[in-house]
Amino acid sequence: MTIVQSAVYEPLTEQKATALAVRLGLFRDGAPLLCREIGDGNLNLVFHIVDQETKQGIIIKQALPYAKVVGESWPLTLKRAVIESNALRTFASYVPQYVPNVYYSDESLAITVMEDLSHLQIARKGLIEGKTYPLLSRHIGEFIAKTAFYTSDFGMNQQEKKKLAQSFVNPELCKITEDLVFTDPFFDHDTNNFEDELRPDVEALWEDDRLRLEAAKLKRKFLTEADVLLHGDLHTGSIFASDDETKVIDPEFAFYGPIGFDLGQFFANLLLNALSRPESERRPLFDHIDQTWDVFTSVFSELWRTESVETYAATPGLLDEVLRQAFVDAVGFAGCEVIRRTIGLAHVADLDGIDQKVERLTAKRHALRLGRRLIVERAELAGTDGFRRLFVETER
């Protein structure tokens, strides 16, 4: 992959994105190109350019100098485009089957040009439509296990790891998570966003000293533990899927952090989808949580036993302790993500898309009770069955 610095930054239009693709020689001469801006996330422009004859396409993703979800009043570093392309390249060296190919990057334009994945669907959309994606958790469990192990002090040269961690220092994007996931939802902060009817439930959270202490401990972990290279925003909107393929996209939040964080975000977004479904249709989501954890632990453990570079790796009990702590943290991080996607700045369509107001408020109250218990009882969950138990116990 090439990263170049060429033009002065300007937001692309569909015409300019097409001209850039032609200039880069990404299409044959004279190809009839159709370009559409399809970005529906919180932060970036995404151009989909297709040769109308061959149907072959590419994606040009461009960072905007502000958070699109709020507007120009919230400036945001363009460096996240470099973090994203470097993270995709690093992940590709371990799990090329689970990330898009990056064809080209330009730091000044803050763009990443990559493989067109439009034959797949964003997992959140598919899950909302009732799809189950039978291989999703097998693939995500392997993605997290391999990227975590090979970027940790157990899977790579420890001097090289420090240099890699330095190249993924990502303060502005981490601050978004520190604020929006770990802080604002637990205080009466103006970024919060929830229906008036939820105010008594939300105020009860804000007055809950036990919850606030546990959220503070989880935030401290996120701030201080440079354990493995994380995707940093591994929700179901950052995953393309079909029945047999899975691709992880959008790692602009990548940084070195606690091993349980990506697992927790993924678990939480499966739970958010389960919260939007009738009881009879929830099972695939809980099966995905079980399977993610099972695949993660078995792949990670095998790599630890066979490829570890750390002398202490063979010490009886150490691997068990690493996995135990990863699980407890993942449960707590999941709780924070469930709460923030319910009452914080960036909601999810799984809950907001519930048409009937009464049902929507019921699901959101359930989310708040579930998120709270995941945080405060994270050390007592014992295994992924605990997610089912707490889900049922917090239903009313």
- Sign (positive/negative) of CA torsion 64, 65, 68, 71? negative
Applying CB under 6 A, among 20, 33, 49, 67 the residue interacting with ligand SR1 is 67
Contact between 354 and 374 under an 8 Å Cβ cutoff? The reply is no
Residue of 69, 204, 216, 309 interacting with ligand SR1 (CB under 6 A)? 69
Residue type for 167, please? S
Backbone torsions φ then ψ of 249, nearest 5 degrees: -125, 175
251 is in an annotated binding site: yes
Choose the contact partner of 141 out of ligand SR1, Mg ion, none; CB within 5 to 8 A by kind: none
Per DSSP, helices labelled H in the chain are: 14-23, 80-94, 123-128, 136-150, 158-167, 171-180, 199-206, 209-224, 260-275, 283-307, 318-343, 349-352, 357-376, 385-393
Residue 42 touches ligand SR1, criterion: CB under 6 A: yes
Choose between 42 and 56: whose C-beta lies nearer to ligand SR1: 42
Please report whether residue 84 would count as binding ligand SR1 according to CB under 6 A: no
Chain centroid offset of residue 171 CA: 17
Which of helix, strand or coil describes residue 185? helix
Determine if residue 252 is labeled as part of a ligand binding site.
yes
Q: What is the longest distance spanned by two Cα atoms in the chain?
A: 65
Q: Is there a binding annotation on residue 116?
A: yes
Residues 127-166 vs ligand SR1: string with x where CB under 6 A? Answer: ----------------------------------------
Q: For the sheet with 246-248, list strands across it.
A: 121-122, 239-241, 246-248
Q: Smallest distance from the beta carbon of 180 to ligand SR1, in angstroms? A: 5
61 is an annotated ligand-binding site residue: yes
Check: CB of residue 108 under 8 Å from CB of residue 217: no
* 81 near ligand SR1 (CB under 6 A): no
| Of positions 180, 285, 348, 390, contacts ligand SR1 by CB under 6 A | 180
Residue 233 binds ligand SR1 (CB under 6 A): yes
Ranked by CB distance to Mg ion, the top (closest) residue is 250
Which span (172-180, 202-210, 314-322, 347-355) binds ligand SR1, by CB under 6 A?
172-180
Stretch that binds ligand SR1, among 19-27, 175-183, 272-280, 291-299 (CB under 6 A): 175-183
3-state secondary structure of 374: helix
For residue 250, the minimal CB distance to Mg ion (Å) is 4
Residue with smaller CB distance to Mg ion, 234 or 381? 234
Span near ligand SR1 by CB under 6 A; candidates 5-13, 173-181, 192-200, 281-289: 173-181
Q: How far is the CB of 115 from ligand SR1 (least distance, A)?
A: 20
Cα–Cα distances in Å, from 383 out to 31, 214, 325, 328, 380?
A: 54, 19, 12, 9, 9
Q: How far is CA 200 from CA 206, 280, 341, 359, in A?
A: 10, 30, 18, 17
Q: Answer yes or no: are the C-beta atoms of 114 and 13 closer than 8 Å.
A: no
| 273, 285 Cβ separation under 8 angstroms | yes
Would you say 131 is a known binding-site residue?
no
Q: Which residues bind Mg ion (CB under 5 A)?
A: 41, 250
What is the torsion angle, in degrees rounded to the nearest 10, for the CA atoms of residue 103, residue 107, residue 111 and residue 116?
20
Q: Between residues 44 and 152, which has the closer beta carbon with respect to ligand SR1? A: 44
Find how far residue 81's CA is from the centre of its chain: 16
Amino acid (one-letter) located at 91: F
Q: Which stretch binds ligand SR1 (CB under 6 A): 52-60, 174-182, 199-207, 368-376?
A: 174-182
Residues with Cβ within 8 Å of 3's Cβ and at least 6 positions away in sequence, in order, are: 82, 85, 86, 105, 106, 107
Site for ligand SR1 in 182-201 (CB under 6 A): none
Min. distance of Cβ 147 from Mg ion in angstroms?
A: 17
- Give the x/- contact pattern for ligand SR1 in 3-22, rule: CB under 6 A: --------------------
Q: Residues comprising the binding site for substrate? A: 233, 340
Q: Which residues would be at the binding site for ligand SR1 (CB under 6 A)?
A: 42-43, 67, 69, 176-177, 180, 233, 345-346
Q: Residues comprising the binding site for ATP? A: 44, 61, 115-117, 250-252
